[in-house]
Amino acid sequence: MIASVLAERAATDPEGTCLVDAETGERVGYRDLHVDTLRVAAHLHSRGVRPGDTVATMLAHSVDTYRVWLGLARLGAVEVPIGTRHRGKMLEHVIADSGARLLVVDLDRLPELRSVLESLPTGVAVVAPADLVRGPAGRGIGALPADHDVSLVLYTSGTTGPAKGVLVPWGQIHATSTGAFPAGTLGSGKTLYAPFPPHHVGGRLFGCLGILEGVSTVVRHTFSVSSFWPDVDRYGCTTVGLVSAMASMLLGAPARSADGLHALEEVLMVPLVPEVGEFERRFGVRVCTSFNMTEVSIPIVSDWSPHDWRSCGSVRTGPPGYELRVVDADDVPVRPGAVGELICRTEVPWTMNAGYLGRPEATAQAWRNGWFHTGDAFRYDEDGSYRFVDRAKDAIRRRGENISSFEVEREVLDHPEVVACAAIGVPAQLGEEEVKVFVVRQPGSTLTEADIVAHVAAKAASFMVPTHVEFLEELPVTEGTGRVRKAELRERDRLGRSAG
């Protein structure tokens, strides 16, 4: 897997550039990265980290991301990456739920994290990534990880409860990385560009793919329109991944005479924007797409220049052997053209998630009848093309982030003048969604939209802050269970937009 291939490249191509940090300009070769991972392993072992332990990290996407991750792998320990914008109860939940007793974070961030760390029932030690690479490299600390070993616990959006930690085996990391682009895309002279945060699987797969294919990967802490083309030009980036909002931002920027004069050749765009043809022509690139989520490993892929922007592609062929079905509520396959839930499985063990950390019931529910249930509504055509229809779950997709509506609601409900709240995703101008909350206030309250926004902004990650707030006398709920009828709220919002 990734750690073993890195060790091989450290011996056969020691000076070859493995990673470049676009923020700092730091370059690291295969040998130096390999040695640094051994130093990290030695340091963490001296701190008592042992096989199976979870270690939380809160790092920007940089070379340190891979030093720490692969160093933990040499110990048989498991990383729990946390977004650098996480705050409040969401941050508390991830650290407490994962059982991590050590947090790797830049020390200049400690003042803003101190209140959360002090509120946890058990102590969490803190260490800076720079400290982990000081000292000698350890030898023989642990065996190289196998496919079935867990590489990461990635927290994904909760819909009826707090976010769940997905157990991601190394076999899944390999299957995800190798499925990112059509076969034959990478080779000599190629350079990957990864402007994604490392607490998403998308933020990891480009660095891993670079190691597997022996090509350099340029990482940036976060996507920036103003930095995109300068990075491409400076580092000769040929191959990149973009979510639809990023693609829309690039298309929305003023045209340049140099729009087609650059090194970029290939773009993985997920999902496709309606103007994908215009994107290819304007920037002189070819585009492919795919479908993935934290729990799976890119089971649906397209070839270059897909003819239908609404399609995710077709079933990925070759190892690890994906099987897909679109089914009704009883797991009975539906006919072509009908809408149902996408379920999937593979022939090769450990190439999809190994369940949810500490949640056997949720794991059994997701994996019922031997298939993983994505919770996403799809339809498929006679020609084998799959189209994403809607999120059957209540997660909100905003600017590349999967947001738990439950987490947003919890932050709003923490305001003393709020009686009830429901969060939904509403269409965003640049694709994906924005966050809208419906709020019921205490009698006599003069709480305003600005008050709600400020309240959440002070406590939660910036991507969770509502863009729209609507006050209601009461929320529509189902009889008996009392669940909020979010479909009714979505329709209310749609009609309001139409009238406006």
Say if residues 101 and 174 touch (Cβ distance below 8 Å): no
Distances (CA, A) of 358 to 99, 151, 295, 362, 374: 10, 16, 15, 9, 19
Burial class (CB in 10 A: 0-12, 13-18, 19+), 167: buried
Q: What is the model's pTM?
A: 0.84
Range of the domain at 411: 397-499
Q: Mean of the per-residue pLDDT values for the chain?
A: 91
Residue 167 lies in a domain: yes
For 66, the enclosing helix (H) or strand (E) is helix 63-75
Interval 122-132: pLDDT, tens:
889 999 999 99
Interval 35-55: pLDDT, tens:
999 999 999 999 999 999 999
Dmax (CA) for the chain in angstroms is: 72
Residues 371 and 479 in one domain: no
Residues 339 and 404 in one domain: no
Q: Quick one: pLDDT band at residue 161, thresholds 50, 70, 90?
A: low
Residues 31 and 53 in one domain: yes
Whole-angstrom Cα distance, residue 470 to residue 468? 7
Burial class (CB in 10 A: 0-12, 13-18, 19+), 126: middle
Burial class (CB in 10 A: 0-12, 13-18, 19+), 478: exposed
Q: Which residues contact 314 (CB under 8 A, 6 or more apart)?
A: 300, 301, 302, 383, 384, 385, 386
Whole-angstrom Cα distance, residue 311 to residue 302? 8
Residues 30 and 74 in one domain: yes
Q: 101: which 2 tokens?
A: 């007793």
Residue 230 lies in a domain: no
DSSP assignments along 290-346, one per residue: EE--TTS---EE--SS-S-TTEEEEEPPSTT-EEEEEE-TTSPBPPTT--EEEEEEE
Q: Which residues contact 338 (CB under 8 A, 6 or more apart)?
A: 326, 379
Residue 212 lies in a domain: yes
Highest mean pLDDT among 253-262, 328-337, 401-410, 490-499 belongs to 328-337
pLDDT score of 488: 86
Sign of the Cα torsion 212, 214, 219, 224 reads: negative
Interval 70-79: pLDDT, tens:
999 999 999 9
Overall number of domains in the chain: 3
Residues 164 and 214 in one domain: yes
Query: What CATH number should be reported for the domain holding residue 143?
Result: 3.40.50.12780
